[in-house]
Structure 1
Amino acid sequence: MSEQIHHLLAALTDAWNAGDAAAYADLFTEDADYVTFFGHHSEGRRAIEEGHRALFEGPLRGSRLASPASGEGGAKIRPLGPGVALVVVTGGSALAGGAPDPSRDSIMTLTAVSDGGRWRFASFHNTRISAP
């Protein structure tokens, strides 16, 4: 399970870095819930794809993610039952042509599920890391 989820996290980063909204959304279940750091809630793979297409063609064109699996402490993967795991991971990003910006560092909580023999994310919640 752990190896498949690490591959899923790497695929998430690769799709983002390629600016490929369809490939990014395909890593989520059909009915996935996706909550951004500012509280926007997308419901379903189609909404995730549409939202990311607008981002990749607009304000986040050329942005880059650091691999979440290599974030501080790596990915914490906790099985919750057969074919279901909680994933907590940190990651950072850089806008096009820029250096990684620590103010953009986030912690993400995801639910990974085995979906017909393939692992996908059923939920994603992103929160900016900041001092209390």
Structure 2
Amino acid sequence: MSTIATTTDAAAVRALFEANSRAWGDTEAFAGTFTEDADYVTFFGGRMTGRHAIAEGHRGLFEGVLKGSRLYAEIEDLAFPAPGIALVHSRGAVLKGKRTRPSARALSVQTYVMTRGADGRWLIRVFQNTRHRPRVEAFSNWLAHRFGPRGK
């Protein structure tokens, strides 16, 4: 965590992260953790722009295939690149049934940009969700090492 942020900011950002996870399944509460002009990118590349679109994009899921599911989310890194801006990297997945931990295949890498509004409230401005593929990552790292500037 950079020195730009206060301990209070870090606690507020972590609380927002937790509130977003707890709100999973409740369309209005979930969308309420995002700014009015938020940008949301799904793991398959779909994009929702604005709180209303995020709500409508999740409503059918929460009432259908994801009904009763829960969100697993764990912060890996938290930084404050500028005052009032937080950058969060996390791992997350949707849990169904009695699962308490995601399978490796279901895990995603997530990036959040959170902003503090004029009222002091933190909300999610940007969310990017990318499905984690360990074998692809390992192969990509091998290629970079093998054929990159140091591999020659």
Q: Normalization by structure 2: what TM-score?
A: 0.77
List per-residue Cα deviations over 1:10-42 (Å, max 9, x = no partner). 1011000xx101000010000000000000000
Question: Which residue identity does 2:123 align to in structure 1?
Answer: R
Gaps of 5+ in 1: none
Q: How many residue pairs align between the two structures?
A: 124
Rounded Cα–Cα distance in structure 2 between residues aligned with 1:24 and 1:101: 24
* Pair 1:41 & 2:43 matched: no
Q: 1:91 Cα shift?
A: 1.7
Match of 2:114 in 1: 112
Larger radius of gyration: 2
Larger relative contact order (CA 8 Å, sep ≥ 6): 1
Does the aligned pair in 2 maintain the 1:64–1:93 contact within 8 Å? yes
SS in 2 for 1:10: helix
Match of 1:10 in 2: 18
Rounded Cα–Cα distance in structure 1 between residues aligned with 2:95 and 2:106: 8
Q: Please tell me the root mean square deviation across aligned C-alpha atoms, in Å.
A: 1.2
Q: 1:98 Cα shift?
A: 4.5
Runs of 4+ aligned structure 1 residues displaced above 6 Å come to: none
Rounded Cα–Cα distance in structure 1 between residues aligned with 2:107 and 2:76: 15
* Pair 1:20 & 2:21 matched: no
